[in-house]
Amino acid sequence: MDSSPATLDLDKGKSDCGNSVVVFDPSVLQKQSNIPEAFIWPRCERPHQPEELEVPVVDLKGFLEGDAASTSRTAAAIRGACASHGFFQVMNHKVDAAALHDALRVADEFFELPLSTKLRARRRPGCTWGYVGAHADRFASMLPWKETLSFAYDYSGNRDGVVDYITSKLGEEFQPMGRVHRRYCAAMKDLSLSIMELLGISLRMGRDYYRNFFEDGSSIMRCNNYPPCQEPELTLGTGPHSDPTALTILHQDQVAGLQVFAEGKWRSVSPIAGALVINIGDTFMALTNGRYKSCLHRAVVNRDRRRRSLAFFVCPQADKVVRPAKELLVGRDGGGGVPRKYPDFTWAELLEFTQSHYRTDASTLQNFTQRFLTYSIHLSLSSNNNSNNKAIKTGMNKDASQMEVS
């Protein structure tokens, strides 16, 4: 991980215990004619005017009402998108319009708080949750022009986890904010499990296969706030990456900014009022042995308007082994096994990799796999072929050449 420099000319705030922290304070930065050097991205990464990516807009009405013909049409539409760029949008998803509106409203309320109040929830080193400004506490360069608030939503039925988190960090007066987030996360969980059914049908694994796999899962709720930027052509709101999680439900406002790298170039995915953007993540790509694609994407900013997005990242239960179903390892001709592209791993292992060792980017899963195999081979050599080492557990050959990691 980049080590943050001792000082960074963004702005220095004071945390509630008086320590100086490096912060991203848009109200200060926006008054400067140029953005700080740390926010300037390499020329090859800077945004330009892209074409539109026509992602399928899938109407879920028939599927959610149990109509068989509509379900198979919907699964076919999803199959095409997931096998190519992994993105599609959904309409008539039955998520209450008020819940969608209120979730953005309380995100605005949070980001409009005084910086000292937001810092009550600041992310602690090595933790995924909390308030972050430009990741200035983690990275020293290529900083994203955004503030984020992230918290966990676990599917274990702990009804008050979100409310307790928000009030414990910000104060009891923020209970209404916590309740709005809880209602939104509950709706996202239900939708994510319905989409898992569709993915199961589309892969001919049956509607329950992935629903059951994720039913006891966990999720990361992330609120993104992208302030207007005086030099939007030099920076990015969120850098190029594929989501390491399994599935993402993105609720974006009506300000364009999401871009997907498809057919060899960056393409914009314009907001559609009432629609939610869905994309496959690395963990689901591994569950399908690469059949469904976790695609590179990013967010750009603009000079005039703030942009907000709410990303609900669906993850398996932390210690559940991520391994493709054997049905997906049969060759197209029904012949012998298709080589595994990724080792067995757990979400806890991949999350720890992205939070402590690696800045999530376009090659996270590839680098995680290489590191994982190197470690496993090391284990195997050092423990004289001890059968407990991970390489054997995965059923992988210790020799990485047996894998198709490109």
Ligand X SMILES: C=C1C[C@]23C[C@H]1CC[C@H]2[C@]1(C)CCC[C@@](C)(C(=O)O)[C@H]1[C@@H]3C(=O)O
- Which residues are marked as active site? 307
The binder of Fe ion chosen from 102, 147, 197, 243 (CB under 5 A): 243
CB of 299 to Fe ion, least distance (A): 8
The binder of ligand X chosen from 235, 245, 309, 389 (CB under 6 A): 245
Q: Within 308-337, which residues bind ligand X (CB under 6 A)?
A: 313
Partner interacting with residue 144 (select from Fe ion, ligand X, ligand AKG, none; CB below 5-8 Å by kind) = ligand X
Q: Are 394 and 379 in contact (CB under 8 A)?
A: no
Partner interacting with residue 258 (select from ligand X, Fe ion, ligand AKG, none; CB below 5-8 Å by kind) = ligand AKG
CB of 257 to ligand AKG, least distance (A): 5
Partner interacting with residue 351 (select from ligand AKG, Fe ion, ligand X, none; CB below 5-8 Å by kind) = ligand X
CB of 393 to ligand AKG, least distance (A): 30
Count of residues in contact with ligand AKG, rule CB under 6 A: 12
Determine the straight-line distance between the first and last CA of the chain, rounded to whole angstroms.
23
CB of 315 to ligand X, least distance (A): 8
Q: Which is nearer to ligand AKG, 202 or 238 (CB)?
A: 238
Q: Is 282 in the site for Fe ion (CB under 5 A)?
A: no
Q: Is 251 in the site for ligand X (CB under 6 A)?
A: no
Q: Within 300-319, which residues bind ligand AKG (CB under 6 A)?
A: 309, 311
Q: Is 281 in the site for ligand AKG (CB under 6 A)?
A: no
Q: Is 222 in the site for ligand AKG (CB under 6 A)?
A: yes
The binder of ligand AKG chosen from 238, 289, 364, 376 (CB under 6 A): 238
Give the binding range for ligand X (CB under 6 A) out of 76-84, 105-113, 239-247, 321-329.
239-247
Three-state helix/strand/coil letters over the chain: CCCCCCCCCCCEEECCCCCEEECCCHHHHCCCCCCCHHHCCCHHHCCCCCEECCCCEEECHHHHCCCHHHHHHHHHHHHHHHHHCCEEEEECCCCCHHHHHHHHHHHHHHHCCCHHHHHHHECCCCCCCEEEECCCCCCCCCCCCCEEEEEEEECCCCCCHHHHHHHHHHCHHHHHHHHHHHHHHHHHHHHHHHHHHHHHHHCCCCCHHHHHHHCCCEEEEEEEEECCCCCHHHCCCEEEECCCCCEEEEEECCCCCEEEEECCEEEECCCCCCCEEEEECHHHHHHCCCCCCCCCEEECCCCCCCEEEEEEEEECCCCCEECCCHHHHECCCCCCECCCCCCCEEHHHHHHHHHHHCCCCCCHHHHHHHHHHHHHHHHHHHCCCCCCCHHHHCCCCCCHHHCCCC
Q: Is 219 in the site for ligand X (CB under 6 A)?
A: no
Partner interacting with residue 244 (select from Fe ion, ligand AKG, ligand X, none; CB below 5-8 Å by kind) = ligand X
The binder of ligand AKG chosen from 137, 147, 197, 243 (CB under 6 A): 243
Which residues lie near Fe ion (CB under 5 A)?
243
Which residues lie near ligand X (CB under 6 A)?
135, 144, 220, 222, 238-239, 241, 243-245, 313, 351, 354, 360
